[in-house]
Chain A
Amino acid sequence: MATTSFTAPKLSSPTLQTLYRNLPVSVPLPKTLSSFSRHRSPSISRFHHHHLHHRRLFSVRAESENGAEPPRHYDFDLFTIGAGSGGVRASRFAANFGAAVAVCELPFSTISSETTGGVGGTCVLRGCVPKKLMVYASKYSHEFDESNGFGWKYDTEPKHDWSTLMANKNAELQRLTGIYKNILNNAGVTLIEGRGKIVDPHTVDVDGKLYAARHILISVGGRPFIPEITGSEYAIDSDAALDLPSKPEKVAIVGGGYIALEFAGIFNGLKSEVHIFIRQKKVLRGFDEETLGLESVGVKMNKNGAIEVDEYSRTTVPSIWAVGDVTDRINLTPVALMEGGALAKTLFRNEPTKPDYRAVPSAVFSQPPIGQVGLTEEQAIKEYGDIDVYTANFRPLKATLSGLPDRVFMKLVVCAETNKVLGLHMCGEDSAEIVQGFAVAVKAGLTKGDFDATVGVHPTSAEEFVTMRTPTRKIRQKPDSQRKTGLEAKAAAGI
């Protein structure tokens, strides 16, 4: 996949800049945009003609698959299909950089399908947000137990009313989807409700209406996968699990990934009986490729249905890009945001930007939760051979009083040669919050020495990460011939 070197259309023409600046920010660009776009595209084309060279015209032609073609009138600089984390981020930022942007999204529903979705996407409507709210709700039962050890007593054991939780959760989702709509509005992005389909490298069809765009962004996300077994129609997926009409008394969860674990914790906390069945993990399947029109336009997908993209999120069709879960890289909201932000910069800031996937931290909101950043011990051994592993395994202060068997486990994986912290892992209360700050340190390539030189915040659990003095184990798997001396290692590491 050649990365064509090109520069995004710049709004360097004074007339254009004034025009754009005078647009009141809160007024959304009109849907048809005919009058405005006619002001824009010709200027851009004129810009190309007057200021640029053959190469520019040539690359414009090359962008459209159909061979030689005069520069088109585009309704939008960017048309985004899917208003989730990646799509909204890319669209907003692109608009802020001066691009004319539209985004289409399916109508709202808590349960997604080929015809339902909602602005905000999975994260806001049927992922991160409702999940975390359910985790909060379910954690209280543990907190009630804990509080006994601290002197609190309940006449009658607290009972949970499922419908209150669902109603309040859904109200919050409505509020958030409204906020996302406002965010798009305020950025001057045109929001179109409907199902987008790609007709050609520069045209999107939304429920029968055609829109021409210089660039198309696919950010339709992913959907849960239910394996085909007899009776699978009786099973539910995470969408439904986040919006059940009543509390299930008994739940069987099939899966070993973070979603399975989180739901196990949620239902367990809300006093259901939970059984979890673990087998090998499957990749989340992408959107149905046939209905998106991808094959016909030439956008390549891998065997799991994920859209193939290069380091800049460009697909096999030069004017079509993709970010977020649909590309199945690292399926996390902040990563989709990173990908969307990088794309906006690449396309409209003249700053080709590659998302950086190193040291991306993440968390599993099981109970207790897990947080991690960097390499696992196994990965580190493979990549570095010689590593030192530091661990802390302790009963947090709260548990010594509550009497509950809660524990905390923390681990640092350190390169023996350079002393760099390659990976940091924690399982225990507040892991997600704790790991974030350390992720800055790990991403910055800091060493165990740097960690140790940092004074602890006391009393906390987090301080254990800066007071691990002796390695729990030292692994030496590098062949002797490859092992540098201390000085050589330091020189190599630039220390």
Chain B
Amino acid sequence: MARKMLVDGELSQTNAEEAHYDFDLFVIGAGSGGVRAARFSANYGAKVGICELPFHPISSEVIGGVGGTCVIRGCVPKKILVYGAAYGGEIEDARNYGWEVNENLDFNWKKLLHKKTDEIIRLNGIYKRLLSNAGVKSFEGEGKIVGPNEVEVTQLDGTKLSYSAKHILIATGSRAHRLPIPGQELAITSDEALSLEDLPKRAVVLGGGYIAVEFASIWRGLGATVDLFFRKELPLRGFDDEMRAVVARNLEGRGINLHPRTNLTELIKTDNGIKVVTDHGEELIADVVLFATGRVPNSKRLNLEAVGVELDKTGAVKVDEYSRTNIPSIWAVGDVTNRMNLTPVALMEGTCFAKTVFGGESSKPDYSNIPCAVFSIPPLSVVGLSEEQAIEKANGDVLVFTSTFNPMKNTISGRQEKTVMKLVVDVETDKVLGASMCGPDAPEIMQGIAVALKCGATKAQFDSTVGIHPSAAEEFVTMRSVSRRVPAGGKPKTNL
């Protein structure tokens, strides 16, 4: 039974030291951000408690699991399915290298799913151990904030536990958004897509973001007919336009049917499958319809309104540069704050939080030059500014270097799929403002490039680095001719 201690709005060190709390830190949500913050805070000597919903691959308002989205229904299972799907193309490619493979390949979806589930359960166990090894006390149940220093955990049997905490960290992540069109209950989200009983023969994907593109690639790689619908001219809004076009071309090259500037208006159940109606009046039948239309922060059931924690209009918890909310003792990291929704960013936010609050070193997460990847087949990876962003932000002219080539493997396999690599350089400083690549291994390649870019490496430094041969990556250090020079404030802003 915790003592309720009211602390002044101004959280001063001396006041806090006088009050007694059950925990120095209580974290709601044991995903990437929450676990990182909890462990590191404990390592700094804090007494930490954390609560998380019970585990299941498919989340809901009351179901989640230690490890969070990334481990259970995001990055990890996604990558596993991409690996599985990529073999289809690889096996095809092997033929011209001399391999004699049966025309009829047998793919066992249930086996892949089973192994995927084994793996996420294994990781879930590891994350639990990480927490206990760090001395963090874990609770299973739904967390709610009752006061600036008080949380309430509702356990599975309904009993409520109350704890006082000097600091509370909200790390409840986000969930897939469902488009409210008639028949929406027939559609699935990424949670279900990662745990489907059967592989669809015909799939419809609605959405233009990375999740839509990745699932389109996965299902297509496993032999399904895939139709991808998105509102804009190209998928992946926000990424470099030239690279978006490359991705679109590759998706088509792999046999995915693209439907740009198209939305879905209705889903109707039929004996044949789900009838999908578009806003162009077209109709299709599909076995599976995936809504990949965005994710929303999990901020509804935390009782934030009563406590006075401010949200923005998307429902994300508002925080300052140190991840602190408007309530001095309440903080938030990860997808629930809707800053950059990537696991390594949540890790960074959690680390900085722990350092700031318990490590004695005020640390602001740095959002510049964060690399990321879209695991389409082949994948896209970027770091820094897109060409459009560079043109907008640079003081002077911008140089664009591109390299488009057929990767060596394809010269024998016969696959017609070009790799495109791009550097965007500031003429004044010669600094590389942005790098992007669409092609096999792009995400692995981009990591090292990101280190250089983050530290302000110049094109000259790139060029003075000797290449590793033969590789695709070496193209990044051998781009000699300028593809185009764009004057400052040049190209009009596009709306693709």
Contact = CB atoms under 8 A, between A and B. Distances in A.
Given A137-B412, A444-B455, A455-B370, 7 more contacts: A151-B112, A152-B84, A161-B99, A334-B466, A443-B464, A456-B447, A457-B344
Interface string B83-108: 11001001100101111111011111
B477 A132 contact: no
Contact of A155 (B106, B454, B470): B106
A453 B366 CA distance: 8
Interface stretch (B231-239, B248-256, B273-281, B438-446): B438-446
B370 A446 contact: no
Interface stretch (A74-82, A250-258, A320-328, A397-405): A397-405
B99 A333 contact: no
Contacts of A158: 94, 99-101
Given A136-B97, A172-B411, A462-B443, A439 B472 contact: no
Nearest to B440: A433
Given A400-B119, A437-B451, A440-B465, A457 B371 contact: yes
Given A143-B87, A433-B444, A439 B468 contact: yes
A430 B444 contact: yes
Contacts of A465: 447-448, 451
A282 to B, nearest CB: 23
B261 interface: no
A437 B466 contact: no
Contact of A338 (B76, B466, B472): B466
Contact of A440 (B75, B80, B448, B469): B448
Contacts of A198: none
25 contacts: A123-B469, A132-B470, A137-B99, A150-B83, A150-B111, A152-B91, A152-B105, A153-B108, A154-B106, A159-B99, A160-B98, A165-B98, A361-B466, A371-B468, A397-B80, A436-B468, A437-B449, A439-B468, A440-B461, A454-B369, A454-B451, A456-B347, A456-B371, A457-B450, A462-B445
Contacts of A437: 445-452, 473, 476
Contacts of B115: 149-151, 401
Interface residues of A, number: 78
B99 A140 contact: yes
A458 B343 contact: yes
Top 6 A-B residue pairs of the complex, sorted by shortest distance between their CB atoms = A437-B448, A436-B473, A462-B447, A438-B448, A151-B112, A165-B98
A133 interface: yes
Interface of A: 123, 128-129, 132-133, 136-137, 140, 143-144, 146-147, 149-156, 158-165, 168-169, 172, 175, 332-335, 337-338, 356, 359-363, 371, 397-398, 400-401, 430, 432-441, 443-444, 446, 450-451, 453-463, 465-466
B381 A457 contact: yes
Given A459-B79, A462-B444, A433 B473 contact: yes
Nearest to A166: B98
Contact of A444 (B412, B457, B470): B457
Interface string B189-230: 000000000000000000000000000000000000000000
Q: Interface SS of chain A: helix, strand, loop or mixed?
A: helix
Contacts of B471: 363, 432-433, 436
B468 A397 contact: no
B372 A466 contact: no
A137 B345 CA distance: 38
Interface residues of B, number: 77
B145 to A, nearest CB: 29
Contact of B468 (A123, A136, A432, A466): A432
Contacts of A160: 98-100
Nearest to B413: A136
Interface string B106-134: 11111110011001001000000000000
B88 to A, nearest CB: 8
A102 B318 CA distance: 68
Contact of B461 (A144, A154, A165, A444): A444
A444 B115 CA distance: 43
Nearest to B448: A437
A137 B97 contact: yes
Pick from A149, A155, A450, A460 the residue with the most CB of B within 10 Å. A460
A166 B371 CA distance: 40
A435 B473 CA distance: 9
A453 to B, nearest CB: 6
Contacts of B470: 128-129, 132, 333
Contacts of A156: 102
B468 A435 contact: yes
A455 B371 contact: yes
Contact of B98 (A129, A161, A466): A161
A147 B455 CA distance: 39
Given A150-B84, A444-B457, A457 B443 contact: yes
Pick from A156, A333, A434, A440 the residue with the most CB of B within 10 Å. A440
